[in-house]
């Protein structure tokens, strides 16, 4: 197959981990006879420096015409003081909405080799951690009206959190279909005891559930869910929730696996063109030191092969290569433990390529 991939190298450790993902894709292309054409699409802090804006029009166009998009990570302290429309995060949000990517899937899974890295008690970890957070990505407070005005002589700011029925129902379908391929349980998370947008969320998700009688649906308030994730994560299979709750819960979910550097994510809309990125940030403190963990990025490329290109055998090959490298005791600094071999970002990338 011939596929065009838009590449967002990003900021901080972004370019280093992207190089390793591209090496892995080259190894896959070689072994399975595919041609991957990569086109750079600058976005984030580097694009602000070079073009004065976080998502130049040409970059969005490149992403909209490619078969899929790979993104490392954007942002850093250098751009923290910029006005909100000129921040790297804006580029990411505009890219998500510009591509219509309403569904963000973030797996939380414990790698058996890394279970000591989880901050949870072994008795909790032993019950298993294997769930996915399905986060609505282009609605809610992130994309509602933001205003800062004066009220009663002082500054007053508000962000409107709104959802329409179709925005809820389309993400609910994704959650139920995801659950059908897993353990067939969906937990819908909201704050329906307080928020109108959550009441509507609950009603619509309950209606959509009727089309999936093989999937068990439960509802949970977001505060309780935050607690349950650390108390007994084994109860979850698929969590579906709105944008802001999903942002928070997916960070919590990744942390309990003890390996934030290992977790990939996919963002999809109606078609097969998606955006794939590790869930970690740009880690400016270790940028350029060959110390980053490229695995979250590499597994994001594997997700792209599977979900956007329908290449499940190739995706399996990448995931197996990662598992084998871990089983062989290879580690980057962030997940190093006694008796293992510590590698740099480049060496880890090479070790994974060799195992494909
Ligand atoms: C994420 C990030 C982004 C978000 C930021 C960088 C805007 O935290 O992808 O989870 O809040 O969605
Ligand atoms: Mg986040």
Residue 114 lies in a domain: no
Looking at the fold, whether 297 and 252 belong to one and the same domain comes out as no
Percent with pLDDT over 70 in the chain: 100
**Contact (CB, 8 A) for 230 and 120:** yes
pTM: 0.94
Taking the CA of residue 331 as centre, how many other CA atoms within 13 Å lie in the half-sphere pointing to its CB?
Answer: 16
Looking at the fold, whether 297 and 343 belong to one and the same domain comes out as yes
Mean pLDDT of 79-89: 91
Looking at the fold, whether 224 and 350 belong to one and the same domain comes out as no
Q: 199: CA distance to ligand 1 center in Å?
A: 25
Ligand 2 (single-atom ion) residues, CB below 5 Å: 247
- Summarize pLDDT for 200-217 with one digit per residue, the tens: 999 999 999 999 999 999
Instruction: Give the pair of three-digit tokens for residue 94.
Output: 């505009």
Looking at the fold, whether 297 and 251 belong to one and the same domain comes out as no
Q: Which atom of ligand 1 is nearest to the CA of 96?
A: 12
Residue 152 lies in a domain: no
Give the number of whichever ligand sits closest to the CA of residue 251.
2
Mean pLDDT of 247-259: 92
Q: Which residues are catalytic?
A: 142, 191, 223, 247, 251
Given a cut of 90, whether residue 85 has pLDDT beyond it is no
CATH code of the domain in which 244 resides: 3.40.718.10
Residue minimizing CA distance to atom 7 of ligand 1: 89
Last residue of a domain, one of 239, 256, 273: 256
Residue 109 lies in a domain: no
Domain carrying residue 185: 119-147+157-256
Give the number of whichever ligand sits closest to the CA of residue 244.
1
Looking at the fold, whether 182 and 87 belong to one and the same domain comes out as no
Q: End-to-end alpha-carbon separation of the chain, Å?
A: 18
Q: 353: CA distance to ligand 1 center in Å?
A: 29
Looking at the fold, whether 180 and 244 belong to one and the same domain comes out as yes
Last residue of a domain, one of 211, 231, 256: 256
CA dihedral (204, 208, 213, 216) in degrees, to 10, reads: -50
Q: Does residue 252 line the site of ligand 1, with CB under 6 A?
A: no
Taking the CA of residue 41 as centre, how many other CA atoms within 13 Å lie in the half-sphere pointing to its CB?
Answer: 30
pLDDT band at 259 (very low <50, low <70, confident <90, very high): confident
User: What average pLDDT is seen over the chain?
Assistant: 96
Given a cut of 90, whether residue 117 has pLDDT beyond it is no
Q: 74: CA distance to ligand 2 center in Å?
A: 12
Give how many domains the chain has, as a whole number.
2
Residue 113 lies in a domain: no
Looking at the fold, whether 251 and 296 belong to one and the same domain comes out as no
Looking at the fold, whether 329 and 246 belong to one and the same domain comes out as no
Last residue of a domain, one of 207, 239, 256: 256
Q: Indicate the DSSP class of residue 291.
A: -
Looking at the fold, whether 131 and 241 belong to one and the same domain comes out as yes
Q: 94: CA distance to ligand 2 center in Å?
A: 15
Residue minimizing CA distance to atom 8 of ligand 1: 247
Looking at the fold, whether 3 and 90 belong to one and the same domain comes out as yes
Residue 141 lies in a domain: yes
Nearby residues of 224 by Cβ (< 8 Å), 6 or more positions away: none
3-state secondary structure (DSSP) of residue 151: strand
Residue minimizing CA distance to atom 2 of ligand 1: 247
Looking at the fold, whether 36 and 92 belong to one and the same domain comes out as yes
């Amino acid at each position: 197959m011939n596929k065009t991939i838009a590449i967002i190298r990003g900021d901080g450790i972004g370019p280093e981990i992207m190089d390793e993902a591209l090496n892995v894709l080259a190894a896959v292309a070689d072994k399975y006879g595919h041609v991957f054409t990569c086109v750079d699409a600058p976005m984030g802090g580097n694009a602000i420096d070079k073009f004065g804006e976080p998502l130049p029009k040409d970059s969005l166009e490149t992403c909209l015409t490619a078969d899929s998009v790979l993104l490392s990570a954007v942002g850093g302290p250098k751009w923290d003081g910029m006005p909100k429309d000129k921040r790297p995060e804006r580029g990411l949000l505009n890219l998500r909405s510009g591509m219509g990517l309403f569904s963000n899937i973030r797996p939380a899974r414990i790698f058996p080799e890394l279970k000591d890295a989880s901050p949870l008690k072994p008795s909790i970890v032993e019950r298993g951690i294997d769930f996915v957070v399905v986060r609505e990505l282009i609605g809610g407070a992130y994309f509602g009206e933001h205003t800062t005005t004066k009220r009663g002589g002082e500054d007053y700011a508000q962000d409107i959190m709104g959802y329409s029925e179709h925005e809820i129902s389309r993400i609910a379908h994704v959650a139920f279909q995801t659950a059908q391929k897993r353990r067939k349980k969906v937990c819908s998370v909201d704050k329906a005891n307080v928020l109108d947008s959550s009441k509507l969320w609950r009603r619509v998700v309950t209606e959509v559930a009727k089309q999936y009688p093989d999937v068990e649906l439960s509802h949970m308030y977001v505060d309780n869910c935050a607690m349950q994730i650390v108390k007994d994560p084994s109860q979850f299979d698929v969590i579906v929730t709105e944008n802001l709750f999903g942002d928070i819960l997916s960070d919590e979910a990744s942390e309990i696996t003890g390996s934030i550097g290992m977790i990939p994510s996919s963002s999809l809309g109606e078609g097969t063109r998606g955006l794939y990125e590790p869930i970690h940030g740009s880690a400016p403190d270790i940028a350029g030191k060959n110390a980053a963990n490229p695995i979250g990025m590499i597994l994001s490329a594997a997700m792209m092969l599977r979900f956007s290109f329908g290449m499940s055998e190739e995706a399996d090959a990448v995931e197996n290569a990662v598992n084998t490298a871990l089983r062989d005791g290879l580690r980057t600094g962030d997940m190093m433990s006694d008796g293992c071999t510590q590698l740099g970002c480049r060496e880890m990338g090479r070790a994974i390529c060799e195992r494909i």
